[in-house]
Amino acid sequence: MKLDIATTALLSQMAAGEAPPMHELSPEEARLIGGQMAKGYPGGPAMVSVKDVEIPARDGAKIRARVLKPSESPRGLLVFYHGGGWVLANIDEYDTLGRQLAERTGCAVLMVDYRKAPEHPFPAAPNDAWDALLWANDNMAALAGRKVPLLVAGDSAGGNLAAVVCQKAKAEGGPAITLQILVYPVTDGAMETPGYANPDNQLLLNTPLMTWFWDHYAPNKDDRLKPEASPLRADDLSGLPPAVIVTAQYDILREEGEAYAARLRDSGVPVTYKQFDRQMHNFFAMPGLLPAQAKAVEYVGEQVDRHLAKFSQADAVVVGAGFAGMYQLHRLRQMGLKTRVIEAGDGVGGTWYWNRYPGARCDIESMAYSFGFSPELEQDWTWSEKYATQPEILRYAEHVAERFDLRKDITFETRVTRAIYDEEEMRWTVYTDKGEAISAQYVIMATGCLSVPKQPDIPGTDEFKGPAYVTGKWPHEGVDFTGQRVAVIGTGSSAIQSIPHIAEQAKELTVYQRTPAYSLPAGNRPLTNAEISEMKQHYRDYREAQRHHPGGIPNPPRAMESAHNVSAEERRKRYEAAWETGILTGLSSAFNDTMTDQQANDWVSDFIREKIHERVKDPEVAEALTPRSFPFGTKRPCLDTDYFETFNRDNVELVDVRKTPIERITAKGIETKDGEKEFDSIVFATGFDAMTGAIMNVDIRGVGGMALRDKWADGPHTYLGIGIAGFPNLFTITGPSSPSVLSNMLVSIEQHVDWVSDCIAWMRKGDLAAIEPTEEAEDEWAEHNEATANLTLFPQANSWYIGANVPGKPRTFMAYVGGVDTYRTLCDQIAASDYAGFRTYEADREAKAMSA
């Protein structure tokens, strides 16, 4: 006996009734039988209120529906679509189940009597389902008493409709559904799974009846395979709400539920799946008759409990717990905002958490690359070297987290996947990959400028059988290259820092270079006590100087003189002096026109080229390592410790891929036009999807469901790199078109966080619910940005500043070159003039009541 006793008994009673098979009946006859059956169900729990309503459909018709309220203050609003093959059943027959669900979940349940086929064939049912969902969302305050999480559920054909509306809500950018509960859903109209041929499954629902349903519902066979009828056939299931999927063991639809669960999981959607053993199709909709039905309602209730416990309210969600996210949390908490930080790593530190490659080090002096907001912090932390190593910076980040008790509001090992703005509520719903949905007034993207490693763009990357490492995602336990043949691809900062270390360990190191870099010797060394105490005495003045310096790096001061004003000898003298400082900005600060005048830049570029030739013994290798295709400083220059000297070692070889292009990566190594070279390990130091990558990784939908990915399809468009028109209350810390990577990041981070925090404080004082830039302000900023960049030599280089490193990425200059000082003045003046260029929205009464 495959089914449980109650089901076996029920089937035997039904057989004794000798009713003809359903699929031989007309829809009217079949409906009568279904109605008779439902009369045998118990009445279901009492509700605080039961109200029948009529929902306007798009074609002017009315959709019958019933609101079941289990309490005065339901925890959620669950829109339920009943089963019956889109032909049979109605909300009266499902009344008991609806009440059970309302009672168990604590949610108000909206039972939708969508129109049935064949009178109303496809797409009437999904259209009604969608119209009802929109109506539910619009009327949430009336239905549930306040803004609550929105859930959808359905069984069988209703499970199909629930899945379909979730896909539509994703495509439309809302409403924000927080959970989908699909009970043995129909997900594919092809009817080809093995279950359809299995005699074990030919129970209440059998293959002829399923054919009968589809024939009535979607007589046109092409319609059946559209995602609106077969949600399994949608191209992309990523970003859908977390799902609870229930199936029955002996059900021709079991495999459709399994397949949908598998595809959702593969697309990164959290899925809780449960098969009820010894059960048949429809068991969930037969209350009172089958004990498993009560168990399934209990199971669904547990899932909703779990889900709603995670559904949270916050004033602000900050994405990322690097330096930006940490300081933003600190500021908002000080202001009394309930703030949640969501962080993908299992610790704080952002860039300094992920980039653990050998030799990783900051190239801004440690005392300058640290927080200035707390004089106490600055006094109790002591840096050990001129340039801090990654482990030391990470310890500093951990110290900051400890000192300000930040960890308690950070959720680690969790990624934000979507953020959807609700115009009426003027709030965001932020989804995480752990199935949490957080409602928040503000979303602050503190996701870093260089946090998403560039996708490999070399054919065959997956073929390599040995270990492959990406500098930006280095294993925490470290890598020992001793005795290995190692390849490093790339010669940017990460490669330049790691190559000398790898060369010391490896048996052979081959460096694949596409563009040589300008790199200056760091002259790193331990800090002396005298230097430390001198800085600690004058930190306050130093911070002030940082804030008003174009790059946030006041030492050495920027010369006011043109390189043209002095003799060749004097120029040389100043370049040599700058070179000796070992400071990244030393050479560019030696004259005031290095970045704007071609000749001035040529002089300094030639000086560095000469130095490279002095550092590398083999003139051919030296020439290959010498940058000639772009002006100094227009791609991020590097600081190194023995980088060029490393090429004097016998175990190091340079491959210039412009002359000898990499054709592909093979199972054993790297193939160029000169043949295949075998390696034990490959290191990808190939950079990042800079500035926009991490923001665009989150599916952000603003006003009218507009996707940020669409808005930025031709490149990022922002106001000040802080706000985006159409995306109210969304702020980006060091976002595209702010000075960001052209400055000391810590200085820019603090300036942005302070500005955003002050803006939020101003809004709260003025009782404003939302703020967003105007399109005009965005255009004006873009125009100024571009014009400023065009006054410099920056646009000449194919750099990641303009997205040139990522194939297919639109090219726009993504950092403000006008300087942190000018930028700060602009931001301050905008704030002082009541946030000129922004539009604001007043809080409505309902929103106020909620936060109270």
As beta bridge partners, residue 312 has 438
Closer Cβ to ligand NA7, 471 or 601, answer by number:
471
CB under 6 A: which stretch of 489-497, 727-735, 776-784, 839-847 binds ligand NA7?
A: 489-497
How far apart, in whole angstroms, are the C-alpha atoms of residue 72 and residue 67? Answer: 13
Q: How far is the CB of 629 from ligand NA7 (least distance, A)?
A: 9
CA dist 743 and 34 (Å) reads 71
CA angle 734, 737, 739 (to 5 degrees): 55
Give the residue, chosen from 100, 414, 471, 692, that forms a contact with ligand NA7 under the rule CB under 6 A: 471
Query: Does 322 engage in binding with ligand NA7 (CB under 6 A)?
Result: no
Would you count residue 657 as binding ligand NA7 (CB under 6 A)? yes
Q: Which is nearer to ligand NA7, 108 or 495 (CB)?
A: 495
Instruction: Name the 3-class secondary structure at 130.
Output: helix
Nearest residue (CB) to ligand NA7, 89 versus 479: 479
Contact mark string toward ligand NA7, 619..638, x via CB under 6 A = -----------------x--
- How far apart CA 710 and CA 238 sit, in angstroms, is 17
Q: What's the CA angle centered on 697, arms 692 and 703, to 5 degrees?
A: 85
Looking only at residues 775 through 804 of this chain, which bind ligand NA7 when binding is defined by CB under 6 A? 800
Q: Verify binding: residue 458, ligand NA7, rule CB under 6 A.
A: yes
| Radius of gyration for the chain, computed over Cα atoms and rounded to the nearest angstrom | 32
Q: Is 457 in the site for ligand NA7 (CB under 6 A)?
A: yes
From 789, 799, 816, select the one nearest 596 (Cα to Cα): 789
User: What's at 804, amino acid-wise?
Assistant: A
Q: Where does this chain touch ligand NA7 (CB under 6 A) — which range of 104-112, 194-202, 579-587, 682-690?
A: 682-690
Task: Report in angstroms how near the CB of residue 363 gets to ligand NA7 at its nearest.
Answer: 7
Span 431-450, contacts to ligand NA7 by CB under 6 A: 450
Is 493 a binding residue for ligand NA7 by CB under 6 A? The answer is yes
Strands 681-684 and 730-732: unpaired
Enumerate the β-bridge partners of residue 139: none
Q: What is the dihedral sign for C-alpha 672, 674, 678, 683?
A: negative
Q: CA-CA distance, 330 to 746, in Å (whole number)? A: 15
SS (HEC) of 442-474: EEEECCCCCCCECCCCCCCCCCCCCCEEEHHHC
566 touching ligand NA7, by CB under 6 A: no
Which lies closer to ligand NA7 via its Cβ, residue 429 or residue 497? 497
Closer residue to ligand NA7 (CB): 342 or 449? 449
Query: Under the criterion CB under 6 A, does residue 360 sit at the interface with ligand NA7?
Result: no
Rounded to whole angstroms, the Cα distance separating 164 from 9 reads 35
Among 90, 160, 805, 812, binds ligand NA7 (CB under 6 A): 805
| Residue nearer to ligand NA7 on the CB measure, 109 or 517 | 517
Q: Establish if 490 lies at the interface with ligand NA7 (CB under 6 A).
A: yes
Burial, 135: exposed, middle or buried (Cβ in 10 Å; 0-12, 13-18, 19+)?
A: buried
Q: Which of 686, 697, 743, 757 binds ligand NA7 (CB under 6 A)?
A: 686
CA distance to 331, 748, 819, 824, per residue, from 752 (Å): 11, 6, 14, 9
- 840 burial type by CB count under 10 A (0-12 exposed, 13-18 middle, 19+ buried): middle
Candidates 595, 591, 592; CA nearest to 571 is: 591
Q: Between helices 390-403 and 323-334, what is the axis angle to 10°?
A: 10
Closest contact distance (angstroms) between CB of 374 and ligand NA7 is 25
Nearer to ligand NA7, 686 or 748 (CB): 686
Pick 129 or 682: Cβ nearer ligand NA7? 682
Shortest distance, position 687 Cβ to ligand NA7, whole Å: 3
Q: Which CB atom, from 140 or from 511, has the smaller least distance to ligand NA7?
A: 511
Q: Is 330 an interacting residue with respect to ligand NA7 (CB under 6 A)?
A: no
The secondary element (H helix, E strand) that includes residue 824 is: helix 820-832
Residue 679 lies near ligand NA7 (rule: CB under 6 A):
no
Report d(CA 97, CA 294) in Å as an integer.
Answer: 10
222 membership: H or E segment, kind and range: helix 221-224
Among 186, 253, 368, 495, binds ligand NA7 (CB under 6 A): 495
Name the residue among 607, 606, 602, 577 with its Cα closest to residue 590.
577
- AA identity, residue 58: R
- 692 touches ligand NA7 (CB under 6 A): no
Closest distance of CB 635 from ligand NA7, Å: 7
Distance CA 592, CA 347 (A): 41
Q: State yes or no: residue 468 binds ligand NA7 (CB under 6 A).
A: no
Judged by beta carbon, residue 339 or residue 588, the one nearer ligand NA7 is: 588
Q: How far is the CB of 549 from ligand NA7 (least distance, A)?
A: 18
CB of 518 to ligand NA7, least distance (A): 11
DSSP string, 492-509: SHHHHHHHHHHHHH-SEE
Distance of closest approach, residue 732 Cβ to ligand NA7, in angstroms: 18
Q: Which residue is nearest to ligand NA7 (CB)?
A: 492
Among residues 153, 489, 730, 847, the one that binds ligand NA7 under rule CB under 6 A: 489
Q: How many other CB atoms sit within 10 Å of the CB of residue 222?
A: 9
> Is 687 one of the binding residues for ligand NA7 (CB under 6 A)?
yes
Only one of the segments 98-106, 178-186, 269-277, 508-516 lies at the binding site for ligand NA7 (rule: CB under 6 A); that segment is 508-516
Q: Which is nearer to ligand NA7, 331 or 677 (CB)?
A: 677
Residues that contact ligand NA7, how many (by CB under 6 A): 23
Q: Which is nearer to ligand NA7, 635 or 824 (CB)?
A: 635
Is residue 693 at the binding interface for ligand NA7, with CB under 6 A as the rule? no
Shortest spacing between CB 850 and ligand NA7, in angstroms: 42
Give the β-pairing of 662-665 and 669-672. Answer: antiparallel
By CB under 6 A, is residue 552 in contact with ligand NA7? no
First-residue to last-residue Cα distance in the chain: 58
Question: For the chain, what's the residue count?
Answer: 852
Examine residue 492 and tell whether it contacts ligand NA7 (CB under 6 A). yes
Range in contact with ligand NA7 (rule: CB under 6 A) among 280-288, 398-406, 435-443, 679-687: 679-687
Q: Return all residues near 379 (Cβ < 8 A) that are at least 6 apart.
A: 536, 539
Amino acid at 24: E
494 touching ligand NA7, by CB under 6 A = yes
Residue numbers at the binding site for ligand NA7 (CB under 6 A): 450, 457-458, 471, 489-495, 512, 514-515, 636, 657, 662, 685-688, 800, 805
